[in-house]
Amino acid sequence: MVRKQRAFTLIELLVVIAIIALLMAILLPALRRARDQAKEVVCKSNLRQVGLGAGFYAEEWDLYIPRGLGGGSGQAWFQLFMPFLAQKPSGRDYRSVDIYRCPSYPDKEQTVCYVVNGWDFTDSSDRNGHEILKPSKLTECRQRARTIYLADNENGHWRHIIRRADDPGENRCDVWNPGHLPTSNSQDVTRGRRVARERHRTGCHFLFLDWHVEWMTAEDVTIDLWRFEK
């Protein structure tokens, strides 16, 4: 006697599809969070490595570190640190360098995903400040653990994409104005927001002058955190 093989009914097939869709709906957000967390880890690791390079640079140059446009040397901070990092550019092309890249930066052509503290103030009551182009000595900063050195670079039509060391905008990878802060809504090329508002979750990463990395929300990034002399 030949036994008939029982096939799936349409209802059973629909139930199976519904279960798979439910599992996907449950798992996808978790996978997305895991992917985003992995990107955060890479970004923090990159900033820590740049911090090590900055420390080596300071040791080589009598504890001076670049601010603004390379501390008046004509070169940007990311160019000056290259001899002290493991990765090297291909000539003046920085697309072979991953250490300055944040994997969460939307435009994958961007090779410089961080901006440096190029902010100087006349006194403790100065709330505007100005750009500093000369280097600063680390010993001038008495609260290195509470002074920002690097921050996540904002993305937007007003921000330059840097692929090579001599690309336009390589002199705009610093922070020296209230309009550059993550709470600013300005999209001006010179005085618009330069620190990312929400690169990682609801905030972004910062490298401090004691070379530790910290996540903060836009509201926590006050002007006082950029002052060398507090």
- The pLDDT value recorded for residue 56 is 96
Task: Classify residue 126 as left (phi > 0), alpha (psi -120 to 50) or beta.
Answer: beta
What the block records as the tokens of 77 is 């901070």
- The pLDDT value recorded for residue 89 is 86
- The pLDDT value recorded for residue 3 is 55
Task: Classify residue 209 as left (phi > 0), alpha (psi -120 to 50) or beta.
Answer: alpha
What the block records as the tokens of 83 is 């001899």
Sorted by where each begins, the domain ranges of the chain are: 11-226
pTM, two decimal places: 0.85
For residue 199, pLDDT over 70 is answered with yes
For residue 28, pLDDT over 90 is answered with no
- The pLDDT value recorded for residue 11 is 74
Q: What is the mean pLDDT of the chain?
A: 90
Report the C-alpha gap between 196 and 176 in whole angstroms: 15
- The pLDDT value recorded for residue 8 is 61
Looking at the chain, the whole-number percentage of residues with pLDDT higher than 70 is 93
Report the C-alpha gap between 40 and 63 in whole angstroms: 30
pLDDT tens sequence across 66-78: 998 755 567 889 9
Section 35-49 average pLDDT:
93
Hey, which residues does 207 pair with through a beta bridge? Answer: 150, 213
pLDDT tens sequence across 137-189: 999 999 999 999 999 999 999 999 999 888 888 889 999 999 999 999 999 99
- The pLDDT value recorded for residue 35 is 85
Section 48-70 average pLDDT:
92
- Element (DSSP H or E) covering residue 216: strand 213-217
**107, 163 contact by CB (below 8 A):** no
**CA trace torsion 228, 80, 90, 97 (10° rounding):** -20
For residue 218, pLDDT over 80 is answered with yes
Terminal CA-CA length for the chain = 93
Amino acid identity of 58?
A: A
Which of these ranges, 11-20, 40-49, 92-101, has the smallest mean pLDDT?
A: 11-20
- The pLDDT value recorded for residue 30 is 66
What the block records as the tokens of 93 is 């092309």
For residue 224, pLDDT over 90 is answered with yes
Q: Name which residue leads in pLDDT, 5 or 95.
A: 95
Section 74-99 average pLDDT:
88
Q: Are strands 119-120 and 174-175 parallel, antiparallel or unpaired?
A: unpaired
For residue 9, pLDDT over 90 is answered with no
Report the C-alpha gap between 40 and 43 in whole angstroms: 5
